[in-house]
Structure 1
């Protein structure tokens, strides 16, 4: 019975994550419309995307710290509503500043959602929660990938109704994020500030710092590939069709890797899985750059698998390294390091302009080796009892 309830809650969290992350992808999908219909220049359009991505990424650790001190289950539906409402308000066309403000509201909702939701997933799953976190991460991947379809379908409807259709995933996400009736330990873990249970390991800040460096490296590699792999495949002689296939292979591989990570961790342990995944990423990324075009698609899929196997595992590792600050750990591993990858992409583009795209992408084949080296000294946290709340930690009167 408990397993059935856990699966239902995990499915609800995964679907809710899809409903939120669809708005991360929607911002980029709206750029062609904004350029064509509102005569925004490329710099203005880039400013909108940058505002959304930086806000949704950089502010996440702050929300993580907030939820650690004052757990707020109601923040999940509120953040979901803000993410959808912000994108829908773009349709008002009240000027560039208003558009940026609407997109910023959406980014703020995305930022508030992730630490609170990841904390809730971990508390609901109990124990390691690796498989539950894998499904949660997969939901985000699916939502991001579906964003272009949502935007194209909604904006095909004339008038304001099309824009308000963009808010439908948020409405569904709010329904899915209603907290279930919980009692006892499950309610305490989810709704109260955490304190370390007796015998639990203390915070391991050096390990968390090392893990953060690893996630930064991974972010640079995957963001660089997702930004430029379509252009690179097109330059190899396949044109736009080859670029589309390469990008599809990359996104499909990321979904498969997300699910595979939880299964492999159950067999090998998290740190061993992370280490082996980054080792496998080195030849896969190199294959994209040096093998002939048909094999580029296969290597793109394999590289994405290798880079996404560690994704959800790194979230739970961070939570175990900071066992009384799960929200903060979630905010850092899910949010702050994403922005680093985005900031590195312009540097890759500058090198590509000065030399060649292959030259600019060469460091991406070496960086997973750095992640592998860093991961060799990651400790595997011991199985921990679920954190108690501050109220539960007090002796009974």
Structure 2
């Protein structure tokens, strides 16, 4: 276990002070990036009607978005661990810009899928490099720094219902063109961050020899069977949470329309409460993890959400609003914590750790979006929402994760 502590000490000079302006800037870009991704689920009610989509087709759209960004994230992370490329950040946002134009102009389902791939690729490039910037700017306050970063992303995702209400219902599919403004702003901020990032990478390279010496110890630690089991279990937990998150963010709005008789606009409010409360949960989860431990927050975030998830399909409309807000707060309180925990398990591979927890695991969750959509077409949306509510119970297995206190946190 001492290998992690030794590895951390070698990088102390590049992380001695928390650089809040950089954290806020990269968090803003994260918000803009995930806002562009949020355009896709925000348009589901519009696209379902304008392109006459089935639930399984809706699921395929989410699958292509998440799988493209998710599967590529560990690949990008592994490559950038060896050779970071700061200029890839604005280039990746350029791909997302192309995707936004494509969504606005797509005449049919297959064109839409092609446009979504560009947004996914842009996101795959951004996330591992963005996490590395957070790592450099954290000053050792990993939970706090990662939570600031993830708050931006979750805030962007939470905008989906509001975009549906104020943009896509009035303007339809072409309203997606507004997403190009997000891409343009993100590119401008990233171009401003690139010089700082290059400077930190240069400092990081100067410590290469010290880092390589401790990296061998860290690699031995990461390859220990217990650590491999912990990483596999962590990915499984994130996978289960992603399935549930996909069920709420993608299909709960349709459930509210069909079972509660809400309009398209009205159905966005509970989904927005779930996502917006998740923004607060992400921030406080990271802050509390610095005090109470990473594993404790991961266990709380998933198992603590289970009672609310189980109750949600059976509640009267009046109680849906407060319960879904509490549910979003609790279940997303472990969002950023999972990334930091993975980085402690893989201290020599920060980019890959981020890619596995926010990338590949979410790609596995994207399979859930398709599976849930197919199940909804076959068995009905009410049945899917009922059985989906049991997914947070998987979080009970988090008790088998190694304590991060023993890892030197």
Q: TM-score range by the shorter chain?
A: 0.7 to 0.9
TM-score (norm 2): 0.79
C-alpha deviation, 1:206, in angstroms: 2.1
Task: Give 5+ residue unaligned stretches, structure 2.
Answer: 1-14
Instruction: Name the CA distance, whole Å, in 2 between partners of 1:93 and 1:351.
Output: 27
SS at match of 1:247: helix
* 1:223 is the counterpart of 2:242: no
* 1:213 is the counterpart of 2:236: yes
Asked whether the 8 Å contact 2:59–2:370 carries over to 1, the reply is no
C-alpha deviation, 1:148, in angstroms: 6.4
C-alpha deviation, 1:184, in angstroms: 8.1
Instruction: Name the CA distance, whole Å, in 2 between partners of 1:46 and 1:296.
Output: 24
* 1:127 is the counterpart of 2:140: yes
Instruction: Name the CA distance, whole Å, in 1 between partners of 2:389 and 2:135.
Output: 33
SS at match of 1:309: coil
After superposition, residues 263-282 of structure 1 pair within 5 angstroms as 263-282=287-306
C-alpha deviation, 1:376, in angstroms: 3.6
* 1:79 is the counterpart of 2:103: no
SS at match of 2:333: helix
In structure 2, the CA distance between the partners of 1:345 and 1:52, relative to structure 1 (3 Å rule), is closer
Q: Name 1:331's counterpart in structure 2.
A: 355
Moved more, 291-300 or 179-188: 179-188
* 1:382 is the counterpart of 2:407: yes
Asked whether the 8 Å contact 2:161–2:268 carries over to 1, the reply is no
Q: How many residues align?
A: 380
* 1:197 is the counterpart of 2:214: yes
In structure 2, the CA distance between the partners of 1:150 and 1:349, relative to structure 1 (3 Å rule), is closer
Equivalent of 1:285 in 294, 301, 309: 309
* 1:342 is the counterpart of 2:378: no
C-alpha deviation, 1:29, in angstroms: 3.8
Asked whether the 8 Å contact 2:17–2:138 carries over to 1, the reply is no
In structure 2, the CA distance between the partners of 1:224 and 1:196, relative to structure 1 (3 Å rule), is farther
Moved more, 27-36 or 3-12: 27-36
C-alpha deviation, 1:92, in angstroms: 5.8
Task: Give 5+ residue unaligned stretches, structure 1.
Answer: 385-397
Instruction: Name the CA distance, whole Å, in 1 between partners of 2:198 and 2:59.
Output: 47
SS at match of 2:347: coil
* 1:310 is the counterpart of 2:334: yes
Q: Deviations over 1:364-388 (max 9, x none)?
A: 333322222234433316347xxxx
In structure 2, the CA distance between the partners of 1:114 and 1:270, relative to structure 1 (3 Å rule), is same
C-alpha deviation, 1:48, in angstroms: 4.9
In structure 2, the CA distance between the partners of 1:173 and 1:206, relative to structure 1 (3 Å rule), is same
Q: Name 2:7's counterpart in structure 1.
A: none
In structure 2, the CA distance between the partners of 1:7 and 1:221, relative to structure 1 (3 Å rule), is same
In structure 2, the CA distance between the partners of 1:182 and 1:281, relative to structure 1 (3 Å rule), is closer
* 1:14 is the counterpart of 2:14: no
C-alpha deviation, 1:3, in angstroms: 9.5
Q: Deviations over 1:220-239 (max 9, x none)?
A: 12211223333444455452
Q: Name 1:188's counterpart in structure 2.
A: 203
In structure 2, the CA distance between the partners of 1:315 and 1:164, relative to structure 1 (3 Å rule), is same
Q: Compute the RMSD of aligned alpha carbons.
A: 3.6
Instruction: Name the CA distance, whole Å, in 2 between partners of 1:336 and 1:226.
Output: 19
- Structure ranking higher on relative contact order (CA contacts 8 Å, 6+ apart): 2
Instruction: Name the CA distance, whole Å, in 1 between partners of 2:85 and 2:207.
Output: 9
Instruction: Name the CA distance, whole Å, in 2 between partners of 1:28 and 1:333.
Output: 21
Asked whether the 8 Å contact 1:276–1:372 carries over to 2, the reply is no
Instruction: Name the CA distance, whole Å, in 1 between partners of 2:102 and 2:206.
Output: 32
In structure 2, the CA distance between the partners of 1:102 and 1:182, relative to structure 1 (3 Å rule), is closer
